[in-house]
Amino acid sequence: MCNTLEKKIIHASTRQDSAPFLSFDTLLKAVSYGYEAGAVLRNRWYHSGRMSRKRLPCPVISVGNIMAGGTGKTPMAVYLADLLIRSGKKPVVISRGYKGSLKHPAAMVSDGTRLFLDARVAGDEPYMMACLKRFPVVVGKDRYRAGCLALDQLDVDVVVLDDGFQHMQLRRNLDLVLMDYDSPLGNGRILPAGRLREPPARALTRADAVILTRCPESPEDFSHPVSALAPDLPVFYSRHQPFLASVYPADDTQNSQPHPNTQKKSETIPASDNLQGVSAVLFSGIADNRVFFHTIQRFGANILDHLEFEDHYRYKGADIRKIQDRAVSLGADMLVTTQKDWAKLYPGEKWVKDLAVVGVKLIFSKKKIFQSFITNRLHI
């Protein structure tokens, strides 16, 4: 559902082979040289002190990546916030509110119990985190002002930056870089010819640790190329574990509630328990829709169709009608979507089929070692 130009750029950014000399891909590669030069120069200016950096009067942890697209930054931010709470801290998650319509430099999405902004204003990922009601969430393009707002109006003592690695204006105590286990560098090219935001080796000199996501259950710790790219950095291995966040019965008036009950206890419910053998129509608008498809497929669902949208897509009434009509025409038992997509839907929507909402949480292969790393670095 992307337009033609977007499709060409997406295709080029995943291309592994060499493109013909006179081609759109080659043009993007030329543009990427300028993008890379700009990123390197900007980082040098911050490193040399030519561009000032501000500091908040509390510890700041940044969760980010060096590639555009999804590597699990939001589940990682949630994991860190929960870890900090268990350690006796009072965290706030700060996000830039990507694709949100917020006009102010910073605003509160949730104080941890109440919601103040919806997904259209705050952005889908901050709103999704706010719906958990386990910690406050603040959005703002100016992360320093967002942090000041949080410290002024909330009882918090640690800031977690969601997608903050390239946000150099705010100093932090810990920089965590997430990389996909199977494709840590994509096609190795800088935006827009690839998905890299900056040269990886240079970028990782600013990091304090690398977290590999979507790992197999028994990763080979000493064979991954990231270890060679940054031999002095600690590398942690994690995987995404889907869980059933909620199921909404067809035409249920309870659907008028804002969003599914995603309290911690629901994360123990395997999605496979409710999807095994179910005929389903999927819809999703995330960074890699194929991952969602394969996840539901592994749960034993009979996937009749998968309606794919681009990342951060804002669903319109016509889209919902198309999804519903497709489920009816194919005789599906259930509709299935992601927790991130659910945050973008109209809360009062009536569904012609049961709607399953699937979330994702992070599981670390060496959980205690990672937790000790965080608490030791923050002295908590």
How many CB atoms within 10 Å of residue 264? 10
Which phi and psi (to 5°) does residue 320 adopt? -65, -40
- From first to last of its 380 residues, the chain has per-residue pLDDT tens of 445 544 554 555 565 556 555 566 777 888 888 988 999 899 889 888 888 899 999 999 999 999 987 789 999 999 999 999 999 999 999 999 988 999 899 999 999 999 999 999 999 999 999 999 999 999 999 999 999 999 999 999 999 999 999 999 999 999 999 999 988 998 888 988 888 999 999 999 999 999 999 998 876 555 688 888 888 899 999 999 999 898 999 975 344 444 444 333 345 455 556 789 999 999 999 988 999 999 999 999 999 999 999 988 999 999 999 999 999 999 999 999 999 999 999 878 899 999 999 999 999 999 999 999 999 999 88
CA proximity to 174, closest of 98, 215, 233: 233
CA proximity to 206, closest of 150, 266, 164: 164
How far are the Cα atoms of 244, 271, 275, 276, 302 from residue 299, in angstroms, in the given order? 11, 7, 6, 6, 9
pLDDT on residue 79: 97
Residues with Cβ within 8 Å of 94's Cβ and at least 6 positions away in sequence, in order, are 137, 138, 139, 140, 143, 146, 147, 150, 159, 160, 161, 162, 164
How many CB atoms within 10 Å of residue 98? 16
Q: Taking CA 74 as the corner, what is the angle to CA 229 and CA 255, rounded to the nearest 5 degrees? A: 155
How many residues make up the chain in this entry? 380
The pTM of the whole model exceeds 0.85? yes
pLDDT on residue 192: 86
Enumerate the β-bridge partners of residue 65. 178
Task: Indicate the SS3 state at residue 225.
Answer: helix
CA end-to-end span of the chain: 47
* Cα(119)–Cα(116) distance, integer angstroms: 10
pLDDT on residue 222: 55
Q: Report the interhelical angle of 124-132 vs 73-86 (nearest 10°).
A: 30
The reply to whether CATH 3.40.50.300 applies to domain 60-239+364-378 is yes
CA proximity to 267, closest of 219, 339, 170, 210: 339
Q: In whole angstroms, how large is the CA radius of gyration of the chain?
A: 21
How far are the Cα atoms of 110, 141, 165, 197, 258 from residue 36, in angstroms, in the given order? 36, 22, 16, 8, 42
Asked if 58 and 70 count as a contact pair (C-beta separation under 8 A), the reply is no
Q: Hey, where are the domains in the chain?
A: 60-239+364-378, 240-362
pLDDT on residue 263: 36
CA proximity to 305, closest of 274, 291, 284: 284
pLDDT on residue 12: 53
* Cα(32)–Cα(135) distance, integer angstroms: 38
pLDDT on residue 253: 38
